[in-house]
Chain A
């Protein structure tokens, strides 16, 4: 491969494949640049940034086009873009769409709630959109470098957003705490990445998995310690983003200190990105892609994940022939389909898959077990801790912070199931991933609605204490009904979206026969009832406090309509969730 060929390949890869697939992110980039540039000329200062950000977000959502890709009209193969740094598949599309939809709804929300003010708004929206860009990269990451890049791109704006309320002590404290924690976690994660990359000779996730699969038993035993340490360190970074126990400490403080708008951003978008990343990394290391790497036999198929379109990774990073044991000249086909649920790459490679190396599958089985066990443990602890700690809270934002921690636990449960099943039951694994996707989709509305109500209430009663919500039903019944709907949905009672989400998550656990985790999840649901209901009780049953700023909030206002529009999906997705479920299934189908 001469230089010209390389350049040519790079050109076609970038211009013909990668950039079109990256269009929504480009739209976001353009919006950010436009927002920054428009401030340069004098008249630009008079333009409200919202007027630029919203069209940009809408355009990005339009370009993400989930209805087009996930509706089942087009067959979409998983395509590596930017030389395998990112991957473009239905999973990417789903999460990107969720994030872009969030961007649109969030921008409207912030304008209505009045934070940020006009002065701050260019900064605020730049940070928000920049963070979302990072989350999109997290959702499509296919390389440990982009994993890290995505995490950082998402985190750094979040630190700033946490402290966006200038001059407030708690906000500053929250931002600083968040940044310090984040920096520590990122450092550990980076170290973990370097360990893994060193042990496996690459940072391209499919290649790493293939390498892992092809390690001889001795080599595997040799590196096991390094690999496990690396995996644990990477999990620190991921757990931080997910606010999973024991790296959740930032969450309550940040949620309490930052404004409700930022909380919505952190609890929905940040969590969605982190969930997607967790799925990418966990599944990436628990199954090796079918095609061969390195030397021929050259596969006949054209969309082989590794060999065809990632010349740089392979030539540049695969310098560790010693990693592959000497007697091992078979290609690494660890992606052994047991049950006939073939999808495109697997099917084409079926002939080779038969040659799969026993040691390879063995390595991956061990990896799967380790990863699934780790995630399951984190999920169980996170969920239980989040729910128990939420009991004593008096501040609604802090309570919801623990609630998001608990929900991170629920969401991680099907991921563990997916990893556990990825070797033996691809269909089951897909269902489990679909459950995660579905959960994230419904969670968007639940938390956005909850924080919108909190923000609007803050604007009128100047308080975020649960005690001050007492008896709200008298003055604004509509708002209380919406809030109660959302909270009950967070408990997971039908016919609300939260129930459907939990139902599928638990279904995945049953399918994977992880009964211990299932029972923990079930008990947690019952536990969580108590504190969510406490808020509902305060708003409905308790008498009004004597000295409270009178509630001036009418449902017949733009804010009221917004709250209703955010709450309606919580109800509707609990009753007619077929479409979202189909999309989630389509999204999951792109993996493995």
Chain B
């Protein structure tokens, strides 16, 4: 455990330490500063990759569902706050994605000339915040990292961005802060209604509240006189699924978990972003400098999806079940809206930004699929498929969208405009660039054999069993996606010749740019051809989470629904009897028949 504490902490805080060191660098050596920052991001990437390496002695073993390398250290014991971090199949791919994207984005930061030192310091602080979000398993710690990112991001957009940068930066900050304040309220609600005394020793061990085999601590917790609250996300998940602590009604007849789910979901939906809280995204993406757009699209948006998978559903399953239709609809609306909005754009970067809205809609839809209300049988496998698809889509989108923003950045650096109508003919002038860009854009389109395809297919297939309407719509969005991407490719790369301004600056990619584009393209192909590279780490944990929720559905939700149905039926019967007695006293047979039906439904559902 000691080595885990050191290793994970170092992974998270190495960029911050680097930023501290950079503060003492002389200001007038921008290239040295950039190189040092790049070295740090490369080191962090190496550390995250090393987690997977080494076979049996690896920090993270593929094929295991449980938390690995987890540790929990006292931080603020008087408020039950712990320094609790760990890796599992949900967080690990995102951690690697984060370190990879940061490295690539740092490489893409070379054209930055203004205040290089401040830029690098903020960039590294941002990386610490991002890694921390994915590794933190204590809600308080999670929230701290979540908010730590905001300020660096504000400055990175606000100082180094485009013409409307200040507006975009404050808009990003306000939206996210509003969402996270709501999240804070939910965190506090969950905290004050939690009581870890109700957990079994095994659950306490899983949540790292006690060390394995430490019966004394278990007894100590059990014998506490007052409720022991917790911020431990793992413990909250167990509490949400095996106890009724979050079922108390508080406001407007809704339970604590219903409210928590809604508040948390809004917080995460802002980040994803889902329509109608997506409007910060086009502004922020367009105004941000290229590397920051890559980070925004590649990593920040994933935090929303991660939060929904890690926090919303496992902690508040009841609310998640009841609101499945809402979440799914939101996902589909985002997909359709994003795609149509992308079709309408004249600005190359804005188009890519809206494509992110559309693609992240798949993630929300895949997570939202909870296919038992469909009536034709509840099968956890579909949900597992949806979740795996959503997770894969996040990784794939991380790679393809970072790639697309980079490709836009490359051409913007040369011609200093992004007007789609003034491009054309780039293929002839920049063949290598155009070839690589084609791969990346096709990955975004979801062409089979490239990474974007797998996630979309998984999600669409799983939705079929939940709602055929939504499935058809989401499949149709692929056509829209193809339309805007192909049209873009046509307008930018094809055509006879480039007629826009600064045509003489159009030279092909230099070595640095090739070095950045190459891994993006390589991964886009690799993950499309062999998705198992990701699934083998991710799938066990995702499936385990889904199975836990399935067990919960079977043990808790179905009896509850059954009881509700029975009650409803009884009431209906009583009402019918009453009515029948009033009108035709003799004829009660149809009412009997109606009463049986829900139960029969249920049997077939099993």
Whether B151 lies near A526 (C-beta < 8 A) is no
Asked if A298 is an interface residue, CB under 8 A from chain B, the answer is: no
Known contacts A578-B77, A581-B76, A507 near B148 by CB under 8 Å = no
A503, A533, A581: the one within 8 Å of B154 (CB): A533
Give Cα A506 to B79, complex, Å: 14
**Is B192 within 8 A of A526, CB to CB?**
no
Distance in Å: Cβ of A12 to nearest Cβ of chain B? 38
Q: Which residues of A contact B166 (CB under 8 A)?
A: 537, 541
Nearest B residue (CB) for A493:
B147
A503 nearest CB neighbor, chain B only: B184
Give the residues from 494 to 513 in chain A that come closer than 8 angstroms, CB to CB, to chain B. 494-495, 499, 503-504, 506-507, 510-511, 513
Residues of B within 8 A of A530 (CB): 170, 174
Determine if A440 is an interface residue (Cβ-Cβ < 8 Å).
no
Size class of the contact patch on chain B: 20 to 34
Could you say which of A511, A522, A581 contacts B182, with CB atoms under 8 Å apart?
A522
For B57, the chain A residues whose CB sits under 8 A away are none
Q: Is the CB of B151 within 8 A of A488?
A: yes
Contact with A along B187-200 (1 / 0, CB 8 A): 01101100000000
In the complex, the answer to whether B144 meets A529 with C-beta atoms within 8 Å is no
Residue A359 CB within 8 A of the other chain: no
Q: Are A585 and B144 in contact (CB under 8 A)?
A: no
Do A533 and B78 touch (CB < 8 A)? Answer: no
B159 interfacial contact with A, CB 8 Å: yes
Which of the listed residues B77, B174, B188 has the most CB atoms from chain A within 10 Å of its own CB? B188
A533 touches B170 (CB 8 A): yes
Which residues of B have CB within 8 Å of A576? 76
Report chain B residues within 8 Å CB of A515. 250-251
Given A427-B226, A510-B192, A581-B76, CB of A540 within 8 Å of CB of B155: yes
> Quick check: is A404 within 8 A (CB to CB) of the other chain?
no
* Cβ-based interface call for B523 (8 A): no
Q: Interface readout for B137-163 with A: 1 if CB under 8 Å, 0 if not?
A: 000100110011011001100110000
Given A493-B151, A529-B177: A541 in contact with B158 (beta carbons within 8 A): yes
Are B79's CB and A581's CB within 8 A?
Answer: yes
Is the C-beta of B39 less than 8 angstroms from some C-beta in chain A? Answer: no
Interface range on chain A (Cβ under 8 Å from partner): 20 to 34
Whole-angstrom distance between the alpha carbons of A503 and B150 in the complex?
18
- Interchain Cβ contacts within 8 Å, total number: 76
Contacts of A578 in B (CB 8 A): 75-78
Chain A residues lying within 8 Å of B174, measured Cβ to Cβ, are 526, 529-530
- The answer to whether B78 touches A582 (Cβ under 8 A) is yes
Question: A354 an interface residue at 8 Å Cβ cutoff?
Answer: no
Q: Which residue of B lies closest to A495 (CB)?
A: B144
Chain A residues, Cβ within 8 Å of B182: 522
Q: Which residues of chain B have C-beta atoms less than 8 A from A541's C-beta?
A: 155, 158-159, 166
Complex contact A511–B177 (CB within 8 A): no
**Do A511 and B173 touch across chains, with their CB atoms under 8 A apart?**
no
Residue B518 interfacial (CB < 8 Å): no
Q: Considering the complex, which residues of chain B in the window 158-215 have a beta carbon less than 8 Å from any beta carbon of chain A? A: 158-159, 166, 170, 173-174, 177-178, 181-182, 184-185, 188-189, 191-192
B192 and A507 within 8 A (CB) = yes
Q: Is A525 an interface residue (CB 8 A)?
A: yes
Q: Does A523 contact B (CB under 8 A)?
A: yes
- Picked from A494, A523, A540, the residue with its CB within 8 Å of the CB of B181 is A523
A-B residue pairs in contact (CB < 8 Å), sample of 16:
A493-B147, A493-B151, A493-B177, A499-B147, A510-B191, A511-B192, A519-B185, A522-B182, A526-B174, A526-B178, A530-B170, A537-B158, A537-B166, A540-B155, A578-B75, A582-B78
The 4 closest A-B pairs by CB, nearest first: A494-B144, A510-B188, A522-B181, A526-B178
Binding site for B on A (CB under 8 A): 341, 427, 488, 493-495, 499, 503-504, 506-507, 510-511, 513, 515, 518-519, 522-523, 525-526, 529-530, 533, 537, 540-541, 576-578, 581-582, 585
Residues of B within 8 A of A (CB): 75-79, 140, 143-144, 147-148, 150-151, 154-155, 158-159, 166, 170, 173-174, 177-178, 181-182, 184-185, 188-189, 191-192, 226, 250-251
